[in-house]
Amino acid sequence: MPGAAALLMALAVGAAWGQGAGPMEHEATGVFEATVQAEEDAADADGVRLGRMRLDKRYSGDLEAVARGRMLTAVSPVDGSSAYTAIERVSGSLDGRVGSFVLAHFGIMDRGVPGLEARIVPDSGAGGLSGIRGRMEILAGGAGHRYRLVYSFPDIAD
């Protein structure tokens, strides 16, 4: 079937052209300060401590913003093993755009080995940051807290 072969070739070429053709990613870097206030903290019979905290942050650098949120934590009795999840609304200025978006965090510390994922919640952008997509890295080392935000503004069909 020559027609089927041509169709498969066209699909393969189209798929190859589509790779990497997504929205252009941008990078924002800087520092942030965080204030964490415990709202609840309790240990169960096995020694695992569960906590709930309020977050207040101030981002400086390419992202000039404040953030408010909540964090849940679990700290095991084994040294260096814990987890947290957090939601924060970030409001401010990025790339000349003023608005807000929501970050969702998930972090695990496995006997001292850290793992962290922080992503912009899809469709949470508002104002000039409407449509924003991306992820944030919290960078270790040096003094203070540093961030790297990789983001894009893809076209969104109504």
**Virtual CA dihedral for 68, 109, 32, 143, nearest 10 degrees?**
150
Q: Quick: pLDDT tens for 7-22.
A: 334 434 444 434 445 6
CA 149 remoteness from chain centre: 8
pTM of the entire structure? 0.79
Structure confidence at residue 16 (pLDDT)? 40
* Domains defined along the chain, listed by start: 24-152 (2.40.350.10)
Tokens 């978006």 -> residue? 101
99 forms beta bridges with 92, 127
Which DSSP string do the residues of 16-71 spell out, in sequence order?
HHHTT-SPPPEEEEEEEEEEEEEEEEEE-TTS-EEEEEEEEEEEEESEEEEEEEEE
127 strand-pairing partners: 99
Residue 154 banded pLDDT, cuts 50, 70, 90: confident
For 13, the enclosing helix (H) or strand (E) is helix 2-18
Higher pLDDT, 13 or 61: 61
Name the pLDDT band for 46 (thresholds 50, 70, 90): confident
